[in-house]
Homo-oligomer: A and B are copies of this chain.
């Protein structure tokens, strides 16, 4: 085990895909299972997911949402109620056709998403405007039968939360859609140190059955984009086929307005690819399962382990900390915890004890800092914040340096061939231009950003008048 860990992993710039799977394996994040495309989320990655859940669940509840649990299965006839929705999802669902020893009369799909179930339930429980809004969320797993899969990024089964809300007015529903997108952005920035681009998806990239899809897009180290969370405004598209109606104040029947929004374990893939380096994972401090690892130096010498224990006791009141007192050499331990991306390594040995100090080593920069023991409980949390901020800043710089303007297809293709990252370009709004750009360059429209700029007068593809700035890029 030790030996494998300190073996060099594939270099990030040499083979990014291999580097990624090396990290997933060696940092013990996920394992393959005997079911094609389904992964085992190991304790270290699951603990990160729990921190993400904890943050989001608190934010959801503060904004009035309640958790529920809907069934895992959807009867075929229910899935088919909204035409675009079933067209979008049916090709990629898993079907249960047999229960115990009996053949089912109607096959059931394993939920790929639960709009139809929420709609059916809401139609039953909502009668009057007094019952609105309904703000429900659920934490669960969903299944989409994917052809090619990669741990966290695209798996047949993944974990997520799906919020589903219904409202009396269009305005309220639209506000909700944006409110939840903002919470996703804040999760990324405040917890994961990942800056994101916020905007709207084009018609061809929006959710099957929706009116408008909003997205946060992040940029991976290899220059590819990752859709990291989406929030959908449905208007009354589902309300009508599902008859979700309520009596308004005047006693008139009205259809509700609806939203849904979700974020998945895919975000763990994002944090690997935004922050990781050739020594392994770099975990953002606020979701790190372990924030400080104490490595005793010359631990057989008198007083070293005792001191390490004492420091651990003290620190464990304010941060997540462990001691590695295994019988491995310190160098091996350093490599292991670097591979796992623990934000701070604390070294303490006889010389440090004599000087009443410890050595703190940052994972992100590998910088060493001497700190008096008496200051530890101030220094460590401050350093964790500092690490968070500089990881975020570095990622912001990376986006800035890897975002390029293109005014025509020549320029667009030249950037695609010689550089990496986002391409900003004007678009006329015609789906055929979008399609053509994809064909020519492999780049898809990532979003129409909320922060619009005017970088030229004409569509990058057809040259016609254009007033929409779009971010383009190859994507996961």
Residues of B within 8 A of A56 (CB): none
Could you say which residues of chain B place their CB within 8 Å of the CB of A288? none
Q: Quick one: closest B residue to A136, CB to CB?
A: B43
A interface residues with partner B (beta carbon < 8 Å): 1, 31, 33-35, 38-43, 46-47, 49-50, 66-75, 78, 91-101, 107-108, 110, 117, 120-121, 124-125, 127, 136, 140-141, 143, 145, 156-157, 159
Asked whether A94 and B101 contact (CB < 8 A) given A69-B46, A71-B157, A140-B141, the answer is no
Do A93 and B100 form a contact, CB below 8 Å, given A69-B41, A78-B34? Answer: yes
When chains A and B are docked, how far (Å) is the Cα of A156 from the Cα of B66?
24
Give the CA-CA distance A292 to B174 in the complex, in Å: 34
Counting chain B CB atoms within 10 Å of each CB, which of A42, A93, A99 scores highest? A99
Measured between beta carbons, the chain B residues less than 8 angstroms from A1 are 127
User: Which A-B residue pairs are the 9 nearest by beta carbons?
Assistant: A38-B71, A43-B66, A41-B69, A95-B98, A100-B145, A99-B145, A35-B73, A97-B97, A33-B71
Decide if B95 touches A67 in the complex (CB within 8 Å): no
A134 to chain B, nearest CB (A): 9
Closest chain B residue to A289, Cβ basis: B66
Contact B67 A50 (CB under 8 A): yes
Q: Which of A39, A69, A70, A145 has the most CB of B within 10 A?
A: A69
Shortest Cβ distance from residue A246 to the other chain B in the assembled complex, whole angstroms? 12
Query: Considering the chains assembled together, what is the distance between the CA atoms of A281 and B74 in angstroms?
Result: 30
Query: Does the CB pair A96–B99 fall under 8 Å?
Result: no
Report how far A92 CA is from B69 CA in the complex, Å. 22
Would A74 and B35 count as touching, CB distance under 8 A?
A: yes
Roughly how many angstroms separate A96 CA and B49 CA in the complex, as a whole number?
28
With A100-B92, A124-B31 given, is the CB distance from A46 to B68 under 8 Å? yes
Contact of A33 among B42, B70, B107 (CB under 8 A): B70
Q: Beyond A41-B68, A47-B67: 4 further Cβ-contacts under 8 Å? A: A31-B125, A40-B68, A96-B96, A97-B97
Q: Which of B38, B70, B91, B93 contacts A72 (CB 8 A)?
A: B38
Q: Are B101 and A91 closer than 8 Å at their CB atoms?
A: yes
**Bound Cα distance A74, B1 (Å):** 28
- A98 surroundings in chain B (CB, below 8 A): 94-95, 97, 107
What are 21 A-to-B residue pairs whose CB atoms are below 8 Å? A31-B121, A31-B125, A33-B70, A33-B71, A33-B120, A35-B108, A40-B117, A41-B69, A43-B66, A43-B67, A43-B68, A43-B136, A46-B69, A50-B67, A71-B157, A91-B100, A91-B101, A92-B100, A94-B99, A98-B107, A100-B145
Of all chain B residues, the one with the shortest Cβ separation from A31 is B121
Contacts of A95 in B (CB 8 A): 96-99
Distance of A171 Cα from B415 Cα, bound (Å): 65
Given the complex of chains A and B, what is the CA–CA distance between A157 and B143 in angstroms?
A: 16
* Distance from A140 Cβ to chain B, minimum over Cβ atoms (Å): 7
Complex contact B33–A72 (CB within 8 A): no
Give the chain B neighbours of A99 by CB distance below 8 A.
Answer: 93-95, 145, 156
Distance (Å) between the CB of A196 and the closest chain B CB?
25
B-side contacts of A40, CB under 8 Å:
68-71, 117, 121
Question: What B residues does A143 contact at CB under 8 A?
Answer: 72
- In the complex, the chain B residue whose C-beta lies closest to that of A73 is B35
Q: Cβ of A94: which chain B residues have Cβ within 8 Å of it?
A: 73, 96, 98-100, 108
Are the CB atoms of A35 and B75 closer together than 8 Å? yes
Task: With a 10 A CB-CB cut-off, give which of A67, A74, A94, A136 has the most chain B CB atoms.
Answer: A94
